[in-house]
C-alpha cells in the first residue's frame, strides 16, 4: 500500500515544491482535483518527471450530474468525465473518482413501476456502458465512491458499489473505499473491505471527525489488516481537514499510518 495526499492539503507555492515536501515526508502519491486540471497537464507531467511522487488519482471535478432528470446535466457530466479519464491516463493516474449523485434523488418516483433508486441504478449502468469504453481507451479507471447518508441517498456502502461493478463487469470499472464514509455507513469496516476486495482500486483516508488519521477515533489498523488480506497494493490518499500546521501534521500522519 502506498500513501498519497491531496494536492490542496500540502503547503507550497508550486507543484514541484509540494511534491518535494511529500517525498520528504514519506508520501508516494498525490491526488489532484479535477476542476481545471485539463489546462495543467503539461505542468503536472513536467513536475512528476522530476519527482519520485506519482499521480495517484483525480478526484471528481466534473460538472453536471450523471443521475439528473435534465439530460443537459447528464450530458455535461458525461463529457467532463470522458475528458478527465483521458487526463488521468495522460498523467499516469489510477483513474477518476466518480460520485454519481449528491443529495436526494432527481428522477421521478414512478412507483409501482419503479422507485427513483431503481431508475437511478438502471440509468447509471447504461451511462457506465459508454464510459467504460472511454476509460479503456484512456488507460484509466472509473472509481465509484460510496458516500455517507448526509451527502447522498445513493451508493452509501461498498457492497452497493460492488453490485454495480458485478452488474457491469469491466476491468476499468472499480470502486474506492473512504474510511470516513465507512465509519458512518458500514457495520464492520474490515468485513466490508474483504467482501468488496476484488473491485477495490483506491482508498481515501480520514478519521472519524474527517481530520487527519490519528486525530479522531477510527480503527485504521483493522481496516489495513483487511486491505493486506485482500492483497491491496494501491494508493491510500488523504482527503481530510488538518488540525494544526500541515508542515508538522502531514509527516506525523504518515508516520502514524505506516506504524499501522
The per-residue pLDDT for 248 is: 97
Asked if 129 contacts 164 with a C-beta cutoff of 8 angstroms, the reply is no
User: Hey, where are the domains in the chain?
Assistant: 2-259
Catalytic position from the list 7, 20, 31, 145: 145
Mean pLDDT by 10 residues, the chain (260 residues): 97 98 98 98 98 98 98 98 98 98 97 96 98 98 98 98 98 98 98 98 97 95 97 98 96 94
Q: Quick check: helix, strand or coil at residue 127?
A: helix
The H or E element spanning position 22 is: helix 15-25
**239: annotated active-site residue:** yes
pLDDT score for 84: 98
Quick one: which of 32, 10, 36 has its CA closest to 94? 32
Q: What is the pLDDT at residue 180?
A: 98
Choose the CATH number for 2-259 among 3.20.20.150, 3.90.1150.10, 3.40.50.300, 1.25.40.10.
3.20.20.150
C-alpha separations of 232 from 43, 193, 198, 235 in Å: 30, 10, 9, 9
What is the predicted pLDDT for the residue at 183?
Answer: 97
Task: Give the predicted TM-score (pTM) of the model.
Answer: 0.97
Q: Which of 251, 164, 236 is nearest to 202 (CA)?
A: 236
Query: With contact defined as beta carbons under 8 Å apart, do 90 and 59 qualify?
Result: no
Q: Which of 7, 31, 239, 249 is catalytic?
A: 239
pLDDT of residue 49: 98
State the Rg of the chain over Cα.
18
Contact between 247 and 217 under an 8 Å Cβ cutoff? The reply is no
pLDDT at 260: 85
Amino acid at each position: 500500500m502506498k500513501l498519497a495526499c491531496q494536492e490542496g492539503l500540502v503547503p507550497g507555492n508550486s507543484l514541484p515544491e509540494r511534491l518535494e515536501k511529500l517525498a520528504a515526508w514519506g508520501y508516494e502519491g498525490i491526488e489532484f482535483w479535477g476542476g481545471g486540471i485539463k489546462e495543467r497537464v503539461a505542468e503536472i507531467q513536467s513536475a512528476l518527471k522530476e519527482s519520485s511522487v506519482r499521480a495517484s488519482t483525480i478526484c471528481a471535478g466534473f460538472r453536471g450530474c450523471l443521475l439528473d432528470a435534465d439530460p443537459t446535466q447528464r450530458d455535461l457530466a458525461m463529457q467532463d468525465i470522458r475528458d478527465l479519464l483521458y487526463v488521468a491516463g495522460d498523467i499516469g493516474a489510477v483513474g477518476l473518482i466518480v460520485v454519481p449523485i449528491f443529495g436526494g434523488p432527481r428522477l421521478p418516483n414512478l412507483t409501482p413501476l419503479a422507485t427513483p433508486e431503481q431508475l437511478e441504478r438502471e440509468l447509471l449502468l447504461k451511462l457506465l456502458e459508454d464510459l467504460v469504453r472511454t476509460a479503456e481507451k484512456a488507460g484509466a479507471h472509473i472509481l465509484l465512491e460510496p458516500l455517507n447518508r448526509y451527502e447522498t441517498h445513493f451508493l452509501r456502502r461498498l457492497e452497493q458499489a460492488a453490485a454495480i461493478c458485478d452488474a457491469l463487469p469491466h476491468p476499468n470499472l472499480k470502486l474506492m473505499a473512504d474510511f470516513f464514509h465507512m465509519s458512518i455507513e458500514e457495520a464492520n469496516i474490515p468485513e466490508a473491505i474483504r467482501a468488496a476486495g476484488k473491485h477495490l482500486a483506491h482508498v481515501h483516508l480520514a478519521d472519524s471527525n474527517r481530520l487527519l488519521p490519528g486525530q479522531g477515533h477510527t480503527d485504521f489498523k483493522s481496516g489495513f489488516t483487511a486491505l493486506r488480506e485482500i492483497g491491496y497494493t494501491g494508493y491510500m490518499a488523504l482527503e481530510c481537514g488538518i488540525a494544526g500546521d500541515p508542515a508538522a501534521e502531514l509527516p506525523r500522519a504518515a508516520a502514524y499510518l505506516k506504524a499501522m
